[in-house]
Structure 1
Amino acid sequence: MGLFITIGIIVIIALAYISLRNGLIGKKNQVANAESSIDVMLKKRFDLLPNLIETAKAYMQHEKSVLTELTELRSQASNATSTDTKAALDKQVSTALSHFRVAVEAYPELKANENIDTVLRSMNEVEAQLSAARRTFNASVTDFNNAVEMFPSSIIANHMNLTTLPLFDIPEVERQNVNAAELFNNK
């Protein structure tokens, strides 16, 4: 009878270990999937930038610096490999796009242009999808980090050399409202 209890306890411990390990692997893979979704949205955003830039060039002779910055950031993004680099470039592009939108407001003929309207609507859609992908990524990372830090899965995570991952965050500068007058005074 004691042998059956010992075997039962061993089986329960083994099943718990397998379950926790598989859960950690699933959470790690979910984080990778969410990160990939961000990459897909960033690629889509960077693929739209040339259309936006070319359409706006004819109208925005005075804001060439914004267009140049967007072009340079797009070329840097195509060479980015690390998550940190991609996140930094994403933040820079978001800032440049907000400057671009403010500049478009200053050109009624550009704002009324059907091509720029279509591209801007596409960009807004991509930005919304990118925002959703970031939220999904952060939810996946939080779930993963909880599993890595909470007992008893933390023991298995330690054996698997899993550590917590950083959330995709927005710098304090981007959390503040955009001051359109200040943007034009800096140009």
Structure 2
Amino acid sequence: MWIYLIIAVIIIVILLSLVFLYNGLVGARNKVKNAWSQIDVQLKRRADLIPNLVETVKGYASHEKGVFENVTKARAGLLNAETVKDNQKANNQLTEALKTLFAVAENYPDLKASTNFQDLQKQLSETEDKIAYSRQFYNDTVLMYNNKCQMFPSNIIASLFHFNESEFFEVGESERSVPKVKF
């Protein structure tokens, strides 16, 4: 009689452990999805600010057509990106296009003095800070999730139920290089 009770308790403990491991993986995967959606929200906000910024600059620098086209293409690429890698690539292209746009703005003192331009630039800067924070949070969340997918014993449950590791949001090559400052 005691042997059946002990076996039943062992089976219950094993089943409860499996349930907790499975639920932990589901929770971690959902946190990764939530963190990604936070990045997506900030990138959308940034993309929404860009047309206003471009229109403001166009008013002062209408002959800089190529710059505006590049910003528009990069923005469209970001809005159409579906995977983390696509998003990274599009985000890096948009960052480069915006650098060029701001370089053009440097040549127009009236534009730099415009309160509309200054406000848009401030909003974009604040959004960039939020994007950076969201990326950091996303990568921290991916790290915790990937650890659960790789560490024993949850890796057994992860492989049984097809929990795949998530990709980190990585910085583009242009953002890794150290800028040169000249005086």
TM-score when scaled to structure 2? 0.91
Contact 2:105 2:111 in 1 (8 A): yes
| RMSD, aligned CA | 1.8
Letter in 1 for 2:119: T
**Secondary structure of the corresponding residue to residue 5 of structure 1:** helix
Partner of 2:84: 83
Structure 2 portions without partners, runs of 5+? none
One-letter amino acid of the counterpart of residue 34, structure 2? N
- Whether 1:95 and 2:90 are equivalent positions in the alignment is no
CA contact (8 A) 1:102 1:180 kept: no
d(CA) in 2 for partners of 1:80, 1:146: 27
Partner of 1:24: 25
Give the Å deviation of 1:179: 5.2
Q: List runs of 5+ in structure 1 lacking aligned partners.
A: 182-187
Q: CA deviation at 1:180?
A: 8.4
- Give the letter for the 1:17 counterpart: L
**C-alpha distance in structure 2 between counterparts of 1:101 and 1:26, whole Å:** 42
- Map 1:16-95 to 2 at 5 A: 16-61=17-62, 63-95=64-96
Q: Between the two proteins, what is the percent identity of the paired residues?
A: 36
Aligned to 1:2: 3
Contact 2:54 2:68 in 1 (8 A): yes
Amino acid at match of 1:107: Y
What residue is the counterpart of 2:150 in the other structure?
149
How many residue pairs are counted as aligned between the two chains? 181
SS at match of 1:58: helix
**Which residue number in structure 2 is paired with residue 161 of structure 1?**
162
Given that 1:55 and 1:115 are in contact with CA atoms closer than 8 Å, whether structure 2 keeps it comes out as yes
Q: How far has the Cα of 1:46 moved from its partner?
A: 0.7
More divergent stretch after superposition (167-176 vs 25-34): 167-176
